[in-house]
Structure 1
Amino acid sequence: MSSPLPNRAERYAKGKSLRKVTPRGAHGKLVGPMDRDANAILAAQNKTRLPALIPLRAELMASNPFAYLRGAAAVMAHDLQWQPMVGAKVQACGDCHLMNFGAFATPEDNILFDINDFDETLPGVDFTVDLKRLAASIVVAAADLGLAAAKRRALAATAVRAYRKRMDSLSYLTPLEIWHSRIDLESETRKFRNAALRRKIEVLIARARGRGLDRDDNFPRLAESGAPVVHDKAPRIFHFPADSDAARGFDPKAALAAYRDMLAPAVRNLLDRYALRDFVFKAVGVGSVGTYCYVGLYMTSDDEPIFLQMKEAVHSVLEVLDDRLAYKGNQGERVVEGQRMMQAASDIFLGWTRNKKSGRQYYVRILKNRRLGAMSEIAEETGIAEYARLCGRTLARAHARSGDPAMMSGYMGDSDAFDEAIGDFAVAYAKQTEIDHQAWASIQKSAGGAKK
């Protein structure tokens, strides 16, 4: 028989002992070489992207510091490698900013709030990595809203405090109870002190249950002619010629056949009730613009549609933290397994494939348009505090599925020392983001002037 596992008290004590190696206050400073060339780090990512979309990525990131932060996960990962680490490891999201959380309807008609982007996910990463990116994104977003410096820092600390307290409560649950825990948006909304935000989300939930959510501009639509094809909306959604770079990136027949073969028999049977009718390129997000991403329109014999998205998966930016973190398998599989590890209710169509000719690797998921609204819909001076707190609690639940909540709770403790330190880091990194954004925007402005 194997030796008994350490109990909660022992794991909590181990976490507390980690403070001797990495004091909680050590997280308050931004350390490392900040004279790195952030623009060069971002430019390096363009080498494998669709050339026609690189200007769109540059334009989006130049618009404001928060958009820049969203697109600069590689830059922040580079900077995080120099920051203090605790030694408590989890499956990390890798790109944990405010906009990468959302609300989803489960098949049981429950509305859950969860992380919704796993392109950079990686196992074996220190839990502070995600937390620092989340906190920094809160400060940057709050600055874009015009909130005072003290308020921005307080918002970041609020999210970390919510994470710490939620992690502590999770540490008393069994591993199975943690696995089945979820963030029910309806229940969470009742706790909101902001009445306007509470009403807004209650309306959203009611519309989601009634299938009444409006589709955003980046969601595929069928052509108005009634033909079973997707309506083009360049530069975000478009058909492409057979001899184009986009066509060479993905072979629908071979790559989707390989995807089908890796599905569980029950899901394969479900997919077989649909047939592929159209196939388009889709530019997604901010940081992902230019990576190869496609949407397949599948329809039943009665013309009932679903959309499947095939998004390119490259190596996680977090691999820069430690050479030992390098993922050696299919990068699409990395994304899928990370999502299954962190998300409370994952998509049954999740899978991965590879395009043999181009060598590009992809993950596949169903494309839904039932997410919580954009920041502009919820980020009021009081509403952003509620949202930041919700994101902190959600991240704690996701981390507790793969990490040791007792050890992490032991390290963070009962005081606000850890919260305040991460708040200080977030403020410092937000200032660095403003500097990096200015340098990026200046380059794009110069390039635009040269073209004229």
Structure 2
Amino acid sequence: MAADLSKTPATGLRVQACGDCHLLNFGVFATPERNLIFDINDFDETLPAPWEWDLKRLATSFVLAGRDNRYAAADCRDGAVAVVRAYRERMAELADSTVLQAWYSKLDVLKLIGETADPELREFRERKLKKLQSRSALEDDYPKLVEEVGGKPRIKDDPPYIFHLSELVTPEAQEMIVEAFQSYRESMRYDHRFLLDKFRMMDVAFKVVGVGSVGTFCSVMLLLAEDNDPLFLQIKQANTSVLEPYAGRGPFEHNGQRVVMGQRLMQAASDLFLGWTTGRKGRQF
């Protein structure tokens, strides 16, 4: 789609673009302060680019979603128009804000639910939120994803989605993993490193990723603090952004750093454990 967007009119104003701004890449997640916000959550292609590209991509995704759900063409068009109108109105609000007000603005989930006009939809969202708030990594995720093997915690194999690669269990491979992890640690802020050091690495398993990332290396890492307090980290290969041939090279040579910095710029609040590293074979993560 980047090739198509590059041929459309643009004002010349560039922003930190997502590069894959469609409706399924938005969701609810917790901030480091454990507040729930609604935001975009996929930054594999992020790069400075014309601001129009993300908006056109987003509006198009609403049309495609409507068609896939057999909505009338007029309804699909109304959805796209509503997206663009909401963007315009929000930008007008931010234009009257101070720099810091705009920087700290966010979409609060509780406020969004409270403003839902349809009673049934509001009740549905409240139920989903309650379920999300009740989840616990220790009580919900850990028992489902981890098992004891030889007295040690190990990520459960769930082929073809999650499984252990035989080539990752050799001493050389384990040494490479430790090296890459230490490099990742050095990319983090000092205070975040202090938090990471409370955990010890226990296991790494290969993870199958979405269609857009087929052919790239992705894995999940299990770390534990005291009392089996778990932390799961995703390690995902970062390649050149699809926007680069049309928008030009960004300020970062390392694609992992490009993704992390783009995410920090675009999200209202980002994960404390974001970082980047390079494997021995030159793969960037």
TM-score, L = length of structure 1: 0.58
Q: Which has the higher strand share?
A: 2
Task: Judge which range, 281-290 or 172-181, deviates more.
Answer: 281-290
Residue in structure 2 matched with residue 334 of structure 1 by the alignment? 258
Higher relative contact order (CA 8 A, sep 6+): 1
Please state how far the C-alpha of 1:233 moved relative to its aligned partner: 1.1
Residue in structure 2 matched with residue 432 of structure 1 by the alignment? none
| Match runs of 1:208-357 below 5 Å | 208-211=132-135, 221-223=145-147, 227-242=152-167, 251-322=176-247, 324-326=248-250, 328-355=252-279, 357=280
Please state how far the C-alpha of 1:183 moved relative to its aligned partner: 0.3
Superposition RMSD on alpha carbons, in Å? 2.4
Once the two structures are aligned, what percentage of the paired residues are identical? 46
Give 5+ residue unaligned stretches, structure 2.
none
Q: Which has the higher helix share?
A: 1
Residue in structure 2 matched with residue 93 of structure 1 by the alignment? 18
User: Does the 8 Å CA contact 1:238/1:281 hold for their aligned counterparts?
Assistant: yes
| Match runs of 1:29-428 below 5 Å | 76-123=1-48, 125-211=49-135, 221-223=145-147, 227-242=152-167, 251-322=176-247, 324-326=248-250, 328-355=252-279, 357-362=280-285
User: Does the 8 Å CA contact 2:46/2:241 hold for their aligned counterparts?
Assistant: yes
User: Does the 8 Å CA contact 1:333/1:351 hold for their aligned counterparts?
Assistant: yes
User: Does the 8 Å CA contact 1:109/1:209 hold for their aligned counterparts?
Assistant: no
| Residue type of the alignment partner of 1:346 | S
Q: For residues 341 and 243 of structure 1, do their structure 2 counterparts lie closer, same or farther at Cα, with a shift above 3 Å needed?
A: closer
Measured in 1, the distance between the counterparts of 2:182 and 2:33 equals: 30
TM-score, L = length of structure 2: 0.91
User: Does the 8 Å CA contact 1:223/1:230 hold for their aligned counterparts?
Assistant: yes
| Residue type of the alignment partner of 1:274 | F
User: Does the 8 Å CA contact 1:170/1:178 hold for their aligned counterparts?
Assistant: yes
CA deviation digits over 1:87-143, x for unaligned, max 9?
1211000000111101012243321000100000002x1111001111111111111
| Residue type of the alignment partner of 2:202 | R
User: Does the 8 Å CA contact 1:236/1:282 hold for their aligned counterparts?
Assistant: yes
Please state how far the C-alpha of 1:327 moved relative to its aligned partner: 5.2
Q: Which of the pair has more CA radius of gyration?
A: 1
Q: For residues 108 and 257 of structure 1, do their structure 2 counterparts lie closer, same or farther at Cα, with a shift above 3 Å needed?
A: closer
Give 5+ residue unaligned stretches, structure 1.
1-75, 363-452
CA deviation digits over 1:294-343, x for unaligned, max 9?
11100113211111111111111011223x33555110000000011010
User: Does the 8 Å CA contact 1:105/1:208 hold for their aligned counterparts?
Assistant: no
Structure 1 runs of 4+ with >3 Å offset: 212-216, 224-227, 324-328
- For these two proteins, the number of residue pairs brought into alignment is 279
